[in-house]
Structure 1
């Protein structure tokens, strides 16, 4: 004979709990508090982002204003006419000096002329800021004309020429320096003769 025995006691059986109105209200309050806290936090973050955006816009406006000011300054700067004239004069002077040096070099390279060595020495020893504007070469005399910014460069030039073999035995018997009020240059004129000619 088969007999069934129920081993479950009533206290072990799962009980069904029903939601009461008080629990539903409490849950709704908790959810409402969570929504309010989340909304406040998002509002705070949005306000911070808005401030950052306004600061970025202000910075961009300042940069744009700086660019506009610099652009207007650059457009407002025009070359000084006096400066342009000075540059043109210096360029012309350099061009004339270059042509003179080329002429002297061509004459120095012409070995059929007996003045090749003195002319090469004249071209080789010219210091900066001193320009030759004319010269005369004879067998017993050399005359130089030129201009310079500084009068002390003329003796320097003559000392350098005295070290050249082409001018050995020659002395400078004539030396003139003049300055005009019309231009800042110092005009000079020098002449050299051999010792036996200068002693007369």
Structure 2
């Protein structure tokens, strides 16, 4: 006779755990904690990035301000240097004009050369950068003395004499060149009828 023994007793059956309200609460709390931690991490990182960005913006503005100030200072220095050179040039022109006016006060009309016409022609052929300091015009010819910072302008200036009726008949040549302590070139030109020795002496300072 066949006998059967039931070993699957009630105590040996597996217990099926169900999701109770308590367990669901634990799960929700764990998920909430994870989300809060993640949110805090994002906020902390964002705040740090914003702080670094603000610092970089502040540094950029400071550098921009320094650059503007340095640019303004450089421009002011360049303007000051240009003004200084312009003042020196004007002082030379004023000194030359004063000397020329003093010479004019002692000139008179001569027999063979019309001094007024000579002055008019010299004004007509004027070249920037040349200042006349002395003019002699008489029966022997014409002597012209002046100053310049640009020696290359002298030949150009003399070539313009061909356009001046009073000066065109004369053949001029440079007979004296001398630089002073301010690096200004003193020059003298004469027509062929004059003595070169006399012209050179006119450039030398008078003895006191």
Residue 123 of structure 1 aligns to a residue whose secondary structure is: helix
Show the counterpart of 2:91: 92
Aligned residues of 1:174 and 1:192 also touching (Cα < 8 A): no
Show the counterpart of 2:63: 66
Structure 2 gaps, min length 5: 1-17, 101-113, 195-208
Residue 184 of structure 1 aligns to a residue whose secondary structure is: coil
1:32 aligns with 2:38: no
CA RMSD, 1 decimal: 4.1
Residue 20 of structure 2 aligns to a residue whose secondary structure is: helix
For each residue in 1:36-55, what CA deviation from the matched residue of structure 2 results, as whole angstroms up to 9, or x when unmatched?
24313321221222221231
Aligned residues of 2:174 and 2:187 also touching (Cα < 8 A): no
What TM-score do the two structures reach when normalised by structure 2?
Answer: 0.56
For each residue in 1:91-125, what CA deviation from the matched residue of structure 2 results, as whole angstroms up to 9, or x when unmatched?
32245578899xxxxxxxxxxxx555533331232
Show the counterpart of 1:53: 50
Matched ranges for 1:186-197 at <5 A: 186-192=185-191
Aligned residues of 1:130 and 1:146 also touching (Cα < 8 A): yes
Cα distance, 1:32–1:130 mapped onto 2, change above 3 Å:
same
Show the counterpart of 1:118: 118
CA distance in structure 1 between the partners assigned to 2:36 and 2:94 by the alignment:
81
Structure 1 gaps, min length 5: 1-20, 102-113
**Matched residue count:** 161
Residue 126 of structure 2 aligns to a residue whose secondary structure is: coil
1:134 aligns with 2:134: yes
Residue 132 of structure 1 aligns to a residue whose secondary structure is: strand
Aligned residues of 2:133 and 2:147 also touching (Cα < 8 A): yes
Cα distance, 1:191–1:24 mapped onto 2, change above 3 Å:
same
Cα distance, 1:152–1:87 mapped onto 2, change above 3 Å:
closer
